[in-house]
Chains A and B, each alone.
Chain A
Amino acid sequence: MCTLFEGGENLNKFNLFDNELIPKHEILGEDELKSVLKRYKIEREQFPKIKINDPVIQQIGASVGDVVKITRKSQTAKEALYYRLVIE
């Protein structure tokens, strides 16, 4: 646990997304999820996975079974979308 700072409350919490190397993660809504599944013609299990205990997942509060949308910066494509299924 991080105890680098002194004073104040909630010392152990800091926002992961303040770091520029951590891309945007958001929980996919039911409708958008449906359209993504349809676009790639896949089942949920065919998404890449991410563990529930991943710090990013904990911060955005996703639960097992959710699909998160990750918006990454890309050198060649400017922005690249990625999806991951949250697992145990």
Chain B
Amino acid sequence: MDTIPSIPKRISAIQFGLISPREVRKMSVTNIIAADTYDDDGYPIDMGLMDLRLGVIDPGLKCKTCGSRAGECPGHFGHIELVAPVVHVGFNKTIRKTLRSICRNCSALLLEPSQKKDFLAQLSKLHEMGHLPDPVINEVFKEARKTKVCPHCGTEQLEIKFEKPTEYVEDGHKLTPTEIRDRFENISDDDVKVLGMDPSSARPEWMILTVLPVPPVTVRPSITLESGQRSEDDLTHKLVDIIRINQRFQENRDAGAPQLIIEDLWELLQYHVTTFFDNEVSGVPPARHRSGRPLKTLTQRLKGKEGRFRGSLSGKRVNFSARTVVSPDPNLSINEVGVPEAIAIQMTIPERVIDRNTELLKMYILRGSDVHPGANYVIRPDGRRIKITENNKEELAEKVEKGWIVERQLMDGDTVLFNRQPSLHKMSIMAHQVKVLPNKTFRLNPAVCPPYNADFDGDEMNMHVLQTEESRAEASILMQVQENILSPRFGGPIIGGIHDHISGMFLLTRNENCITKNEALELLRKAEIRELPEPAGYKDNGDPYWNGKQIFSQILPEGLNVEFPAEVCFKCETCKKEDCEYNAYVVIRNGEMVKGTIDEKAIGAFKGIIVDKIVKKYGTEAGAKFIDDFTRLAVRGIMKTGLSFGTGDEDISETAKKNIKQVLDDAEIGVQELIRTYEAKELEPLPGRTLDETIEMKIMQTLGKARDETGRIVGNQLGLENSAVIMAKSGARGSMLNLTQMAACVGQQSVRGERIRRGYAGRTLPHFDKGDLGADARGFVKSSYKSGLSPTEYFFHAIGGREGLVDTAVRTSQSGYLQRRLVNALQDLEVQYDGTVRETRGVIVQFRYGEDGIDSTKSDYSKPDNIHKIVEAVTGRKVN
């Protein structure tokens, strides 16, 4: 920061107005009179639609206005003198409103002078406050239209009907554009102001065209087809039509043709000008190309998804990108992405030929573009790109030398950007190393699903191939997956184990299981482990065995020390730490797992303490290696025993069923008792609550407790060997609540946090008595998903379920818009090297980033833990 960027100039205002015929002629470089483009020699006709003064598109020709060649000349406007005025469709509604607001005789605004003054005052006030004038203007139109007799000249006003766009019928007589223009010309400047226009930049008569601007050729270039034939732009076609009719009109009028013919031609001219502006006006048949395709005229260029705004400015298509479905591959590194060979063949990287790679690049060229590590194009030193084909590959390989560039195909190890929409945070686009694989999907390690928020139910992702050395360097330093393991949002890992990784490690490490040598080698096969530790013991037959903790220890870096309660921790009153009888306190000493069970708390995305510690202590590379290793170990670990789940796993014993029924019946009785006291007016209201609220809360409480109790029964009944319980307790997937609902009792259905009460008058369904406050009448579902719901329960469940769906839909749209506003407000802020946060003008927003200047990913959750650890390591004294 040695020079501060100077404060740039600011746009203070933008004024919109109508373009006047005078301005059109002033900016025009020529009048266009010929309805033709090129002469027989292919040279632009003078005063034709491709006149050389309008700009040039053919290479070799020079612009007659600015003297530049094609590409440099921005193009210049011409104009067509219309024989008779026509309506501009874009203003047809304003024209209608204005016609209805002014006198047909004297063109005065149909308002009393006092009213006029009043409106003017309102308008200037709104302008002062910076508000839009629209509501007042609409009021003006509404008031003026009510006046039936002109207050100035006393002429009776006639109804003006608006039948087609550009057609105004006054009492059965069609107003010609000339008549309309005459009326508008006579409106005084003061009246124009009341109508919401600024007479200096927008006179109403300018809404009726007398001269048409002809856009420069550069915005409507003609293309030469392969046959050598020229194909003109749709706009040019339309302009040809306009000029032809304009000419015929002139000839007929000069020859004194009958009024009927003149009117027909005028209408035709109006039609062509209308469709030149907008070819999708309702009530006007679209102008078509010879092939029957509707022409794309001015409005169609701008409008809609494919239009200039949404299609070319807000969003663009890019080269060197690919998109396909993603699927998982735990054997890939988190830094890798599996790319289908079909995509790798299409994507190229330009590589400059130097001494050291000439032979290699020649080999790629010789392989051609059909065999995988090949090349698709070469670029000669003069910049010509040549496609490599079966026929020319030998010749090109021969010719290639220093100074050429070879566009070789994507190969293993290339850096690419990988992205999944919606790109809400920086981890939605990360750099991966390519691994070319068979089949048709992108493959990624499931541990990187959380930052992308990807799953494999059909999600598609995009890949962008980096084209320069600089971009590849920048991407691999800043955007590589391993550099994003820790999220700046909370300073912890956002990349880590999910689902099977967690249940796999849980199964492997929780018990003192016997793992034979073969099994141990199979588990660690992909982990670059060359030696097994001392066996945990020997079997009767003398074979050595190891336990899961030892196996896991092999992938831990040396010297790692961590202690923490696992996810399965029972949260006892006083934690016994190492001596936890549930094996729920993890102790890792010097890279050796001594105690505990590995679960979500240890390796999970968002929570994984071991991942967090390794990245912070050993760096991102070690972190990535650890994640790679444990994903591979976990899937092998889970395959050793297998983990499946079916309805059979929700089976509970008859006694448990009886107990659950008992609990629910007791709750029902409790509720009835509550209702009795309520109806007998014996119920004490809770502080700050009405009696009605109190009874509702008490009933909800009673039923909630009962549901939780059934959950406990199910939990005890199924035990820690049940696969659903394993997944819930270890944090791999699902919760004990899910399990309770499946096996015991679904529980209360609610709408906006209350029991369901809407429906019929005084009751939820006709199945119940009016005023019934009982559990089943208000949406309590006694059944479990497995046992099935009764019809009324099913209906209540659908009500509760619908609320959830609506909520998510509303929430996503709201949070999406909030995100957009935040991004727009903050996108230009930048943390400078001096630690300040500044915007583009160099104005300071924060004098120290986040007040403390700390990068959250390097801060250990803002706690001085690390210092304590260092002090402890050096002095051997525990500090807190």
Q: Which of B7, B834, B841 contacts A40 (CB 8 A)?
A: B834
With known contacts A42-B4, A43-B4, A76–B851 Cβ distance under 8 A: yes
A77 CB contacts on chain B under 8 angstroms: 848, 851-853
With known contacts A76-B851, A77-B848, A77-B852, A45–B4 Cβ distance under 8 A: no
The answer to whether B851 and A40 have CB atoms under 8 Å apart is: no
Bitwise, A49-88 to B at CB < 8 A (1) or not (0) is 0000000000000000000000010101100111100000
B830 to A: closest C-beta gap in Å? 14
The answer to whether B843 and A46 have CB atoms under 8 Å apart is: yes
The answer to whether B847 and A40 have CB atoms under 8 Å apart is: yes
A69 to B: closest C-beta gap in Å? 10
The answer to whether B842 and A42 have CB atoms under 8 Å apart is: yes
Residue pairs across A and B with Cβ atoms less than 8 A apart, 6 shown, are A40-B834, A41-B2, A42-B844, A48-B845, A76-B850, A76-B854
The answer to whether B843 and A48 have CB atoms under 8 Å apart is: yes
Bound complex: CA A43 to CA B862 (Å): 34
Which chain B residue shows the least CB distance to A49?
A: B843
The answer to whether B844 and A48 have CB atoms under 8 Å apart is: yes
The answer to whether A46 and B851 have CB atoms under 8 Å apart is: no
Bound complex: CA A76 to CA B2 (Å): 30
The answer to whether A47 and B844 have CB atoms under 8 Å apart is: yes
The answer to whether B844 and A46 have CB atoms under 8 Å apart is: yes
The answer to whether B847 and A82 have CB atoms under 8 Å apart is: yes
The answer to whether A72 and B1 have CB atoms under 8 Å apart is: no
Bitwise, B840-871 to A at CB < 8 A (1) or not (0) is 01111101101111100000001000000000
The answer to whether B4 and A72 have CB atoms under 8 Å apart is: no
Which chain B residue shows the least CB distance to A79?
A: B851
Give the size category of B's interface with A. 20 to 34
The answer to whether A46 and B848 have CB atoms under 8 Å apart is: no
Cβ of B222 under 8 Å from chain A: no
Bound complex: CA A40 to CA B838 (Å): 11
Cβ of B659 under 8 Å from chain A: no
With known contacts A40-B834, A40-B836, A41-B4, A80–B843 Cβ distance under 8 A: no
B862 CB contacts on chain A under 8 angstroms: 76
Q: Which of B1, B836, B852 contacts A80 (CB 8 A)?
A: B852
The answer to whether B843 and A45 have CB atoms under 8 Å apart is: yes
Chain A interface residues (CB < 8 Å from chain B) = 40-43, 45-48, 72, 74, 76-77, 80-83
B2 CB contacts on chain A under 8 angstroms: 41
Bound complex: CA A82 to CA B7 (Å): 21
The answer to whether B4 and A74 have CB atoms under 8 Å apart is: no
With known contacts A45-B843, A46-B843, A48-B843, A80–B4 Cβ distance under 8 A: no
The answer to whether A40 and B852 have CB atoms under 8 Å apart is: no
A81 CB contacts on chain B under 8 angstroms: 847-848
* Contacts across chains A and B counted by CB atoms under 8 Å: 46
B4 CB contacts on chain A under 8 angstroms: 41-43, 46
The answer to whether A46 and B842 have CB atoms under 8 Å apart is: yes
Bound complex: CA A43 to CA B843 (Å): 9
Which chain B residue shows the least CB distance to A36?
A: B847
Residues 340-374 of B at the A interface (beta carbon under 8 Å) = none
A72 CB contacts on chain B under 8 angstroms: 851
The answer to whether A83 and B841 have CB atoms under 8 Å apart is: no
The answer to whether B843 and A76 have CB atoms under 8 Å apart is: no
B854 CB contacts on chain A under 8 angstroms: 76
Bound complex: CA A23 to CA B844 (Å): 19
A26 to B: closest C-beta gap in Å? 15
A83 CB contacts on chain B under 8 angstroms: 844, 847
The answer to whether A46 and B841 have CB atoms under 8 Å apart is: yes
Residues 546-580 of B at the A interface (beta carbon under 8 Å) = none
Bound complex: CA A47 to CA B843 (Å): 6
A82 CB contacts on chain B under 8 angstroms: 847
The answer to whether A74 and B851 have CB atoms under 8 Å apart is: yes
A45 CB contacts on chain B under 8 angstroms: 7, 843
Bound complex: CA A41 to CA B834 (Å): 10
Which chain B residue shows the least CB distance to A78?
A: B852
Bound complex: CA A46 to CA B1 (Å): 14
Bound complex: CA A80 to CA B4 (Å): 24
With known contacts A40-B836, A41-B4, A76–B845 Cβ distance under 8 A: no
B7 CB contacts on chain A under 8 angstroms: 45
A11 to B: closest C-beta gap in Å? 33
A87 to B: closest C-beta gap in Å? 12
B788 to A: closest C-beta gap in Å? 52
A40 CB contacts on chain B under 8 angstroms: 834, 836, 844, 847
B22 to A: closest C-beta gap in Å? 42
B841 CB contacts on chain A under 8 angstroms: 46
A47 CB contacts on chain B under 8 angstroms: 843-844
B854 to A: closest C-beta gap in Å? 7
A64 to B: closest C-beta gap in Å? 18
Q: Apart from A41-B4, A42-B842, A46-B844, list 10 A-B contacts with CB within 8 A.
A: A42-B844, A46-B4, A47-B844, A48-B843, A48-B845, A72-B851, A76-B854, A77-B851, A77-B852, A83-B847
A41 CB contacts on chain B under 8 angstroms: 1-2, 4, 834
B851 CB contacts on chain A under 8 angstroms: 72, 74, 76-77, 80
Bound complex: CA A26 to CA B567 (Å): 50
B848 CB contacts on chain A under 8 angstroms: 77, 80-81
Bound complex: CA A81 to CA B836 (Å): 12
Bound complex: CA A43 to CA B844 (Å): 10
A32 to B: closest C-beta gap in Å? 14
Bound complex: CA A40 to CA B846 (Å): 11
A43 CB contacts on chain B under 8 angstroms: 4
8 smallest A-B Cβ distances: which pairs? A77-B852, A80-B851, A76-B852, A74-B851, A77-B851, A46-B843, A46-B842, A76-B862
Which chain A residue shows the least CB distance to B836?
A: A40
